[in-house]
Amino acid sequence: DQQVKQNSPSLSVQEGRISILNCDYTNSMFDYFLWYKKYPAEGPTFLISISSIKDKNEDGRFTVFLNKSAKHLSLHIVPSQPGDSAVYFCAASAFQNQAGTALIFGKGTTLSVSS
């Protein structure tokens, strides 16, 4: 049973437009959520995170929104750039992401940004 779901395997966006990547979760114990970006032949790179006490967190062009009642989060990239083309993983953990708590990952969404 998948606890973290990324239902869109791929997304194509034009440069300069907004990219919206979605993630759903089923475990109500999750209280910390992260997005990782992965380029081919590299490990995942931490992008942005959000605690369950917030509903929005912003870092430059990246914003993560959390809707706890719907158990849904989304990553917005504005404006999208060709260098953003990568696989994006949504991940979740329980217990405020204290070290020692494993991450549960979704299957990833491949974002392609065309110029």
Partner 1 sequence: EAGVAQSPRYKIIEKRQSVAFWCNPISGHATLYWYQQILGQGPKLLIQFQNNGVVDDSQLPKDRFSAERLKGVDSTLKIQPAKLEDSAVYLCASSLRLAGSSQGTQYFGPGTRLLVL
Binding site for partner 1 (CB under 8 A): 4, 32, 34, 36, 41-46, 49, 51, 89, 91, 93, 96-103, 105-108
Least Cβ distance, residue 81 to partner 1 (angstroms): 22
Least Cβ distance, residue 103 to partner 1 (angstroms): 6
Least Cβ distance, residue 58 to partner 1 (angstroms): 16
107 conformational bin, left if phi > 0, alpha if psi -120 to 50, beta if neither:
alpha
The residue among 26 and 51 lying less far from partner 1, judged by its C-beta, is 51
In angstroms, the Cα distances linking 89 to 108, 112, 115 are 4, 14, 23
Between CA 38 and CA 31 the distance in angstroms is 23
Q: What are phi and psi of 69, to 5 degrees?
A: -65, -35
The residue among 3 and 74 lying less far from partner 1, judged by its C-beta, is 3
Helices (H) and strands (E) in the chain, counts: 0, 11
The residue among 13 and 47 lying less far from partner 1, judged by its C-beta, is 47
Least Cβ distance, residue 106 to partner 1 (angstroms): 5
